[in-house]
């Protein structure tokens, strides 16, 4: 079944001329009792294989905008110069889906949802990207993926030959998607990702005010929707720490450094 995916974790071809109707973001949801996790040791090479398999599955089961599509062209221009983070190559794609979200994987794959691009300015989107890149840089994405893998897709253990990771079944990929949807980052991880994103954008010639602007937009959306703490919209960014605190931290930092705030479209 199809399920709306509202967690940063995570991200069919989109025709450039005749645009088909948007679909919901596709994470295969499966039912079944969870089993005890077995002790499993995953090498970095195996982890890399699993991350690649997962992002390939996501790109196949969600509508990816073509290179000449307006969304892709906009994102490519926006991310010009953002080629890698801590030696990890970055690659960007747009999912043409109705859900408002974005996510990054441990291999540097960053997926932005078209509906998020519809409601955010370029600066606000850069804030989203900066934050996600921060999680990749600090290996939060990698560690979160490893945990989800061991507690969901590989809950029955792993089989391998010659150190090669066992190929995941469709069911295991579905369980993995569910676990990633429900995963969270700690307050410390979120704060560190914000700080890294700020410096990352600044060092690449982007205005780091983008971090505060992205949080401000999310807060505005929450207020307009009357969103509560448990709202799915609130899960676009973690609730730890509170958005007001995150906005204040990023604003004070940019102001203290004398960085000019970009003009905000009304």
Q: How confident is the model at residue 28, as a pLDDT?
A: 42
How far is the CA of 261 from the CAs of 102, 121, 182, 243, 255, in angstroms? 24, 14, 35, 19, 8
Residue 123 lies in a domain: yes
Residue 15 lies in a domain: no
- Of 124, 132, 178, 190, the catalytic one is 132
Q: How confident is the model at residue 41, as a pLDDT?
A: 66
Residue 6 lies in a domain: no
Residue 60 lies in a domain: yes
Domain span holding position 60 = 42-157+167-220+234-257
Q: How confident is the model at residue 29, as a pLDDT?
A: 38
Q: How confident is the model at residue 156, as a pLDDT?
A: 60
Domain count, the chain: 1
Q: How confident is the model at residue 2, as a pLDDT?
A: 32
159-195 pLDDT tens trace: 444 556 677 877 788 778 777 766 778 888 989 999 9
- The residue among 180, 181, 94 whose CA lies nearest residue 129 is 94
- The residue among 80, 259, 46 whose CA lies nearest residue 159 is 46
Residue 37 lies in a domain: no
- The structure's pTM equals 0.78
Residue 149 lies in a domain: yes
Q: How confident is the model at residue 10, as a pLDDT?
A: 33
Mean pLDDT, 10 residues at a time, over the chain (266 residues)? Answer: 33 30 53 36 82 91 96 98 96 93 92 94 96 94 86 63 67 77 80 96 97 91 65 50 88 96 74
Please check whether residue 108 is in contact with residue 132, taking contact to mean a CB–CB distance below 8 angstroms. no
Residue indicated by tokens 């892709």: 72
Q: How confident is the model at residue 60, as a pLDDT?
A: 92
Residue 216 lies in a domain: yes
Contact partners, residue 18, CB within 8 Å, separation at least 6: none
Q: How confident is the model at residue 46, as a pLDDT?
A: 83
Active site residue 132: yes
Residue 175 lies in a domain: yes
Q: What number of other Cβ atoms are within 10 A of residue 128's Cβ?
A: 29
Q: How confident is the model at residue 205, as a pLDDT?
A: 96
């Amino acid at each position: 079944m199809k399920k709306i995916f509202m967690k940063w974790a995570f991200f069919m071809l989109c025709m450039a001329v005749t645009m088909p109707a948007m679909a919901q973001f596709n994470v295969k949801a499966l039912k079944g009792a969870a089993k005890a996790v077995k002790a499993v040791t995953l090498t970095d090479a195996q982890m890399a294989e699993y991350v690649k398999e997962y992002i390939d599955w996501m790109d196949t089961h969600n509508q990816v905008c073509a290179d000449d599509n307006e969304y892709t062209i906009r994102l490519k221009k926006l991310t010009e110069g953002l080629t890698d983070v801590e030696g990890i190559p970055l690659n960007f794609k747009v999912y043409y889906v109705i859900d408002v979200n974005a996510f990054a994987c441990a291999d540097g794959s960053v997926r932005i949802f078209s509906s998020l691009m519809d409601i955010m300015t370029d600066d606000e989107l850069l804030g989203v990207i900066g934050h996600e890149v921060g999680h990749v840089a600090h290996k939060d994405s990698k560690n979160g993926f490893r945990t989800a893998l061991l507690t969901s897709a590989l809950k029955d253990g792993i089989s391998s030959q010659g150190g090669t990771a066992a190929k995941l079944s469709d069911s295991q990929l579905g369980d993995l998607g569910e676990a990633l949807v429900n995963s969270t980052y700690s307050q410390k991880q979120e704060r560190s990702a914000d700080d890294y994103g700020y410096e990352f954008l600044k060092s690449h010639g982007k205005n780091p005010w983008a971090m505060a602007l992205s949080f401000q937009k999310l807060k505005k959306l929450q207020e307009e929707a009357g969103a509560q703490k448990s709202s799915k919209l609130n899960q676009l960014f973690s609730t730890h720490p509170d958005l007001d605190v995150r906005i204040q931290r990023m604003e004070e930092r940019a102001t203290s450094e004398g960085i000019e705030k970009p003009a905000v479209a009304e």
